[in-house]
Amino acid sequence: MKSIPALPRYATPEFEQFANVASSELTLPQWLGLARRINELFRADAALAGVVVTSGTDTLEELAYFLDLTVRDPRPVVVVGSMRNPSTLGYEGAANLLEGFRVAAEPAAKGRGVMVVLNDEINAALEVTKTDALRLHTFQSRAYGILGVVDSDRVVFYRRDERRHTQNSEFDITLVNDLPRVDVIVTYQGASGDLINAAVDGGAKGIVIATAGAGATSGTQSEGLRYATTKGVYVVMTTRTGGGRIAGGRAGRGTTIAGEDLAPIKARILLMVALTKTQDAAELRRIFAEY
């Protein structure tokens, strides 16, 4: 509170420590536990305006998207972090945290899903990605643009994420203790299908391929994909380019699914969560079209 003296002007905070590890060290069971805890808080307290989650930035976008799919309440969940260490000159963590509280307390934030707030900008969990390893302006939604901004006078929203999330999500993880294994494999010139075979043999229930361009694989990856589908493993085709949509067609037959415009790591999260609900390929394709 000492580092953000202006906070009482906007919110009456209550603090709870869920974990104290680097974001990359969080486990999938901890993800499930955090989502359940947030759902419990919303159910127990009708006066609670929203929830702010602090996270390291390395995997922040993954955690935010998982919560976007599994927190089933219209009240805002805001994920914040900082690019600089607290001991570093120019540490921006306190400013980001204050802005996170301001967004969570803003009535207009209701129904907008999980949001990522850093550097005065509000981004949708579905769309945002970390684009730079060091710079403050790292979290961006590229072609989609920001949802809004946090300025000195007020929080301003410009648009909303139109796809299903939070209060409209069909995913109930109340009784889910484990998420199925889903691996991400990248396409590159001369890539070996053996990596796909190894993932299948290692127990993967799904594989996300970060293809070249709009769906191209290379080397012997096509052989590996055939092996995966014969074993009943779901294959989601995405693009490694950082933007663009994978349409249906070849990526819409058998156990192969078009990843739409999801980044590979986001497609992995959606497939993991979706497989806790259904193993029907047609239903999985519907889910990828709606979320």
My answer on whether 48 and 76 are in the same domain is yes
Residue 2 lies inside a defined structural domain of this protein: no
My answer on whether 249 and 274 are in the same domain is yes
My answer on whether 150 and 195 are in the same domain is no
Tokens of 41: 């808080």
242-250: long-range contacts (C-beta < 8 A, 24 or more apart)? 242/129, 242/142, 243/142, 243/143, 244/214, 246/211, 246/214, 246/215, 247/214, 248/285, 250/215
Residue 79 pairs with which residues in a beta bridge? Answer: 53, 116
Q: Is a pLDDT exceeding 80 seen at residue 260? A: yes
Residue 146 lies inside a defined structural domain of this protein: yes
The angle formed by the CA atoms of residues 214, 216 and 219, to the nearest 5 degrees, is 160
Q: Is a pLDDT exceeding 80 seen at residue 100? A: yes
Residue 94 lies inside a defined structural domain of this protein: yes
My answer on whether 93 and 195 are in the same domain is no
My answer on whether 187 and 164 are in the same domain is no
Residue 177 lies inside a defined structural domain of this protein: no
My answer on whether 186 and 163 are in the same domain is no
CATH of the domain at 150: 3.40.50.1170
Any idea which of 39-53, 80-94, 181-195, 241-255 has the lowest mean pLDDT?
A: 241-255
> Which 8-state DSSP code applies to residue 66?
H
Any idea which of 85-89, 103-107, 169-173, 199-203 has the lowest mean pLDDT?
A: 85-89
Band of pLDDT at residue 256, cut at 50, 70 and 90 = very high
My answer on whether 158 and 15 are in the same domain is yes
My answer on whether 12 and 156 are in the same domain is yes
When comparing pLDDT for 254 and 167, which is higher? 167
pLDDT one-digit tens code per residue, 123-141:
999 999 999 999 999 999 9
Above pLDDT 90, what percent of the chain? Answer: 96
Distance CA 261, CA 233 (A): 21
My answer on whether 129 and 200 are in the same domain is no
My answer on whether 88 and 191 are in the same domain is no
Tell me the H-state helices in the chain: 28-44, 60-70, 93-105, 194-201, 221-230, 264-275, 281-290
Q: Is a pLDDT exceeding 70 seen at residue 1? A: no
From 145, 168, 191, the end of a domain falls on: 168
Residue 162 lies inside a defined structural domain of this protein: yes
My answer on whether 19 and 161 are in the same domain is yes
DSSP per-residue letters across 68-98? HHH---SS-EEEE--SS-TTSTT--HHHHHH
Band of pLDDT at residue 249, cut at 50, 70 and 90 = confident
Q: Considering the entire predicted model, what is its pTM? A: 0.97
Distance CA 264, CA 26 (A): 19
Residue 184 pairs with which residues in a beta bridge? Answer: 208
Residue 173 lies inside a defined structural domain of this protein: no
Residue 175 lies inside a defined structural domain of this protein: no
At what angle are helices 281-290 and 264-275 packed, to 10 degrees?
130
My answer on whether 220 and 116 are in the same domain is no
Q: Is a pLDDT exceeding 70 seen at residue 290? A: yes
Distance CA 11, CA 14 (A): 9
CATH of the domain at 222: 3.40.50.40
Distance CA 184, CA 206 (A): 9
Q: What is the pLDDT of residue 253?
A: 78
Instruction: Identify the domain containing residue 92 by its residue range.
Output: 7-168
Residue 258 pairs with which residues in a beta bridge? Answer: 237
pLDDT one-digit tens code per residue, 223-239:
999 999 999 999 999 99
Q: Is a pLDDT exceeding 80 seen at residue 252? A: no
Residue 12 lies inside a defined structural domain of this protein: yes
Mean pLDDT of the residues in the chain: 96
From 168, 195, 224, the end of a domain falls on: 168
Band of pLDDT at residue 153, cut at 50, 70 and 90 = very high
What's phi and psi for 132, nearest 5 deg?
-145, 140
Residues 250 and 256 sit within 8 Å (Cβ to Cβ): yes
Domains identified in the chain, total number: 2
Distance CA 61, CA 169 (A): 18
Distance CA 10, CA 8 (A): 5
Cα–Cα nearest to 193, from 204, 205, 181, 185? 185
Cα–Cα nearest to 108, from 172, 175, 155? 155
